[in-house]
Amino acid sequence: MDWSQVPTLTWESAKLGILPALFGLIISVPLGIVCVRFRWLYGPVLSVTSVLYALPSLALFIVLIPYTGLTDTTVIIPLTLFSLCVLVPNVVDGLRSVPEPVRQAATAMGFGTMRRLARVELPISVPIVIAGLRVAVVSSISLATLGQLIGVSSLGYLLIDGYQRAFLTEILVGGGLIIALALVCDLILVLVRRLLTPWRPRRRRRELPEVVADPVAALAGGTQ
Amino acid sequence: MITFEGVTKRYPGGTLAVDDLNLEVPDGQTMVLVGPSGCGKTTTLRMINRLIDPSSGRILLDGQDIQQSDPPTLRRGIGYVIQQAGLFPHRTIEDNIGTVPLLIGWKKDKARDRARELMRLVGLDDSLARRYPHQLSGGQQQRVGVARALAADPPVLLMDEPFSAVDPIVRATLQDELLRLQAELHKTVVLVTHDVEEAIKVGDQVAIFRPGGRIAQVDSPERLLTAPADSYVESFLGFDRGIRRLSFLAASGLSLDDTAVISASLPAWEAAEQAQRNGEPWLLVTDADQKPRGWVTGDELRSLPREATAGDAQLSPYGHTFGVGTDSLRAALDATLLSPAGRAVGVDDQGRVVGVTSYERLGAAVEAAGPAADPDAAAGAEPAEPATEASPTGTA
Amino acid sequence: MKFFSYAWDWLTVPAQWHGSGGIPVRILEQLYYTGLALLIAALIAIPLGILIGHSGRGAVAVVNLANAWRAIPTLGLLTLLAVTLGFSPLAWLIPLVVLGIPPILVNTYEGVAGVEPELKDAARGMGMTSWQQVRKVEVPVASPLIILGLRTGAIFVVATATIAAYIGLGGLGRYIIDGLATDNYGEVAGGAFFVVLLALAVQALFVGVRRLAVPAGLRQQASQT
């Protein structure tokens, strides 16, 4: 087994997993804020993102090929759109999770709308938004491997090469590394959440961890 | 001073929340807005800091129409306390309290120092400063809410049902704290509550609202109890208005009996004779500091050997006391009712015995206070708020 | 629109529509794989989800599963089984089923577990046995979420079936894989085009199923949140 390529491939997979989530975040925060402010907008936005989410990623990569070629971008754009499906509901839920008395108190104390968002509402939304980011990153890392089929390199290479050579070990290594990468990123995000929210009560062990938002569930009546 | 001039608030559906309101809130006093649900009291409060804007009429703050101020700026000069505190969960207690100072540009250290100062003022321990809201009890959170509202030293403090969400014991404590703070700070406080007892306890002026956003009566708690304007106000105030009115009459107006009080060092036989002479079945024994020790009967005294002093006798518990300088007639009556002997002990602020009451003396004081119509005419008895100091006056 | 022109050029060739490699056949194949896998996944996941939701045991495992399964790369599962099992149909069926189970399981569990305690209480108070409670109260109330789980599962199964063409499966993915191998973008585009249509059609189907299967009162309640 040729291990020399693994670091590069891992780095590629990491890029293709993290960048879509990051871009998704950058888009969904303003979008989420707008959807909270203008409630009627949220429904249509959700419908659009859900429809996108239902489309197989490979198909979307292919649709983009004539425009962006066989580059990383072809993979990043569809995955960014997918992550919107998770992140927008989470941003909206996060903002809505701010208790009404807190929002009222902030307004009454003289916070303008922008300041209140920046200093009060968004910080309080962080845990829920990070929950969405975790889903987005993990899914992206996994889905990005499909890009290998159109030649965009990632750890998926090990899967394909392993298949073509009927080399089981390579497939196992590839699969294992992809899952490991996803888990590491997930853990990093959990740590980031801990760092950013020292104010959160430590959950008792016996309580169930939150189930991460299901994108399509958002259309049916709120994320879980 | 806050002035409402012909203020009306009508909601898009047609609901009239506030109807042609004219009200003056005097400086440095607590004005309580009280009434049933939906009577417009909260709407009125929230128009002061422009969380709601009136449909017509205007509101003046120190002579200036508040419509002319930009809301955030206006609000930074007005403290606001709400029922669920609304503390920022993501900030420590001291940073919560320091919110408005930081907002108006203070340095972080200065804001934190100010926060500590306020924590002491509202009775919170320093150790809580770095904690987060979820680690505090409901009562503590409310205190933080009050401290936060006072941080930038605003002249006006608005309170919307601030004590409704805590249990009755904590509520009573917080109400007392408010009275204490006001005695020290003299802010212009506007407080909304649905609890008429609370209104009477903490208010200097009380505005009773009718459903439909109109005011039925604005007056001191005293005068409200004495002379309600109509049957609505009367029923709103509730029954036993007469007894509650007694809370506003000082115990200092009572004449107390000191002939029944003896020192523990007095020889027993002398005490027994004194009891017989005055026709007192029971005597109150005090120690060297004039503090009460217990009751003793004449028979008990006579049964003692010649050399014994009153203090050697078997004493019965002295029962409930009331502060002559600080408590009301109502408290004195209550103490007397609770005493098996039908006599309550009046003490000064050091706990020293001044004298004892009896039902006759209480009856006399209440009668002298006069009929409800004109409390000022009660000879010698000065209308006073509970829990404030009043100098003992002469006999009624 | 370059993509559409490529796809259009390809699919307007009459030959594409005939024969065992024709578009209709491929569509049916895809539907067959998807339907079969979804059915099996549902048969496993729904009862399991109801059981766990009703009894509460194993809930932690379900929740962790929900978060973990997204990390599994489809391609990895397919290639792994293809290499170990060879040309067996299990090589594609297992991954499709495995990837379809989690959304169905999680949503069913949440649906059943999320039934308000008052409702369960009322049912028990009326004298229903556990089984009756499940059948008459919990499942109907959970039905929106169960159907949602099936819908989400369908998304993943359709996608996985497309990719399974890589290890030799038929269906619309065949066009994509073959087209990529022969550098025939027209074929690739055509395949992708129909995959998208199919995915949308399946979603629409489930919206319809929801309308039929979920009692009206619940539907309205859900849309009010």
C108 in a structural domain: yes
Question: Average of pLDDT values for C43-64?
Answer: 86
CA-angle at B42, arms to B38 and B48, nearest 5°: 145
Residue B346 phi/psi, 5-degree rounding, is: -95, 125
- ipTM strictly over 0.90? no
CA atoms within 13 A on the CB side of B180: 9
Question: Can you read off the two tokens belonging to residue A173?
Answer: 């290594």
Mutate to test the interface with A, among B50, B83, B88, B96 (most CBs of A within 10 A): B88
Identify the domain containing residue C51 by its residue range.
23-224
Q: How many domains does chain A have?
A: 1
Query: How many pairs of residues across A and B have Cβ atoms under 8 Å apart?
Result: 70
Candidate from B83, B103, B148 with C-beta closest to A111:
B103
- A130: CATH: 1.10.3720.10
**What local confidence, expressed as pLDDT, does residue A16 receive?**
94
What is the pLDDT confidence band of residue C218, given thresholds at 50, 70 and 90? low
Q: What percent of chain B has pLDDT over 90?
A: 38
The yes-or-no verdict on residue C171 having pLDDT over 50 is: yes
C5 in a structural domain: no
The span from the CA of A156 to the CA of A145, in Å, is 4
What is the pLDDT confidence band of residue A208, given thresholds at 50, 70 and 90? very low
The yes-or-no verdict on residue B80 having pLDDT over 90 is: yes
N-to-C CA span, chain B:
38
Candidate from A103, A105, A111 with C-beta closest to B72:
A111
What is the pLDDT confidence band of residue C101, given thresholds at 50, 70 and 90? very high
C14 in a structural domain: no
Question: Average of pLDDT values for B28-33?
Answer: 94
The yes-or-no verdict on residue B139 having pLDDT over 50 is: yes
Selected residue with higher pLDDT from C170 and A94: A94
Question: Average of pLDDT values for B327-354?
Answer: 83
Selected residue with higher pLDDT from B163 and C217: B163
In angstroms, the separation between the Cα of residue B73 and the nearest Cα of chain A is 6
Question: Can you read off the two tokens belonging to residue C81?
Answer: 């089984």
Question: Can you read off the two tokens belonging to residue A104?
Answer: 């009222």
Selected residue with higher pLDDT from C64 and B49: B49
- Assess whether B6 and B59 both reside in one domain: yes
The yes-or-no verdict on residue A164 having pLDDT over 60 is: yes
pLDDT in tens, C28-37: 999 999 999 9
As beta bridge partners, residue B23 has B4
Residues 6+ apart with CB under 8 A from B180: none
Candidate from A108, A115, A199 with C-beta closest to B51:
A108
A121 in a structural domain: yes
Candidate from B75, B91, B135 with C-beta closest to A108:
B75
The span from the CA of A132 to the CA of A57, in Å, is 19
Question: Average of pLDDT values for A158-184?
Answer: 91
Domain end, chosen from B244, B263, B290, is at: B244
C6 in a structural domain: no
B382 in a structural domain: no
The span from the CA of C173 to the CA of A212, in Å, is 30
Q: 3-class DSSP state for residue C142?
A: helix
Place of tokens 């979603």: C203
B383 in a structural domain: no
Identify the domain containing residue B8 by its residue range.
2-244
Quickly list H helices, chain C.
Answer: 2-11, 23-55, 59-68, 74-85, 90-113, 117-125, 130-132, 139-164, 173-181, 185-213, 216-224
C91 in a structural domain: yes
Q: How many domains does chain C have?
A: 1
- B297: CATH: 3.10.580.10
A70 in a structural domain: yes
Candidate from B72, B83, B90 with C-beta closest to A110:
B72
**What local confidence, expressed as pLDDT, does residue A7 receive?**
92
- C103: CATH: 1.10.3720.10
What is the pLDDT confidence band of residue A215, given thresholds at 50, 70 and 90? very low
B392 in a structural domain: no
What is the pLDDT confidence band of residue A203, given thresholds at 50, 70 and 90? low
**Position B37, amino acid:** S
Identify the domain containing residue A120 by its residue range.
3-198+211-216
In angstroms, the separation between the Cα of residue B158 and the nearest Cα of chain A is 10
- Assess whether B362 and B233 both reside in one domain: no
The span from the CA of B147 to the CA of B119, in Å, is 6
Selected residue with higher pLDDT from A103 and C13: A103
- Assess whether B100 and B171 both reside in one domain: yes
- Assess whether B118 and B232 both reside in one domain: yes
C45 in a structural domain: yes
Q: How many domains does chain B have?
A: 2
**What local confidence, expressed as pLDDT, does residue A91 receive?**
95
Strands B353-356 and B345-347: antiparallel
The yes-or-no verdict on residue B265 having pLDDT over 50 is: yes
Chain length of chain A: 224
- Assess whether B238 and B305 both reside in one domain: no
B393 in a structural domain: no
Chains that touch B (3 or more CB pairs under 8 A): A
Residue A139 to residue C70, Cβ atoms within 8 A:
yes
* Contact of B346 with B251, CB cutoff 8 Å: yes
Q: Does A66 touch chain C (CB under 8 A)?
A: yes
Residues 6+ apart with CB under 8 A from B162: B81, B82, B83, B142, B145, B146, B174, B191
Chains that touch C (3 or more CB pairs under 8 A): A
Q: Which of chain A's residues have a Cβ under 8 Å away from the Cβ of C203? A: 51, 54
B387 in a structural domain: no
Instruction: Name the packing angle between helices C185-213 and A57-68 (round to 10°).
Output: 140
Residue C2 to residue A167, Cβ atoms within 8 A:
no
The yes-or-no verdict on residue C225 having pLDDT over 60 is: no
C16 in a structural domain: no
Selected residue with higher pLDDT from A56 and B259: A56
Chains that touch A (3 or more CB pairs under 8 A): B, C
Question: Average of pLDDT values for A128-154?
Answer: 92
Q: Which of chain B's residues have a Cβ under 8 Å away from the Cβ of A199? A: 89-92, 132, 134
For residue B220, give the DSSP letter.
Answer: -
Question: Can you read off the two tokens belonging to residue B378?
Answer: 């009660």
Q: Does B91 touch chain A (CB under 8 A)?
A: yes
Candidate from C107, C176, C203 with C-beta closest to A58:
C176
**What local confidence, expressed as pLDDT, does residue B362 receive?**
85
Domain end, chosen from B244, B277, B311, is at: B244
- Assess whether B260 and B230 both reside in one domain: no
The yes-or-no verdict on residue B386 having pLDDT over 60 is: no
Q: Which of chain B's residues have a Cβ under 8 Å away from the Cβ of A104? A: 51, 82, 86
Residue B249 phi/psi, 5-degree rounding, is: -105, 135
Cα separations in angstroms, C75 against B16, C92, C138, C164: 65, 11, 37, 8
What is the pLDDT confidence band of residue B287, given thresholds at 50, 70 and 90? confident
- Assess whether B29 and B109 both reside in one domain: yes
Strands B205-210 and B156-160: unpaired
A224 in a structural domain: no
For residue B328, give the DSSP letter.
Answer: B
Residues 6+ apart with CB under 8 A from B87: A102, A105, B93, B96, B133, B141, B144, B145, B148
Q: C and B: touch, per 3+ CB pairs < 8 A?
A: no
Mean pLDDT (chain B, rounded): 85
* Contact of A137 with A18, CB cutoff 8 Å: yes
* Contact of C80 with A168, CB cutoff 8 Å: yes
Residue of C nearest to A182 (CA): C71
**What local confidence, expressed as pLDDT, does residue A180 receive?**
93
The yes-or-no verdict on residue A94 having pLDDT over 80 is: yes
- Assess whether B163 and B310 both reside in one domain: no
pLDDT in tens, B158-217: 999 999 888 888 899 899 989 999 999 999 999 999 999 999 999 999 999 998 889 999
C129 in a structural domain: yes
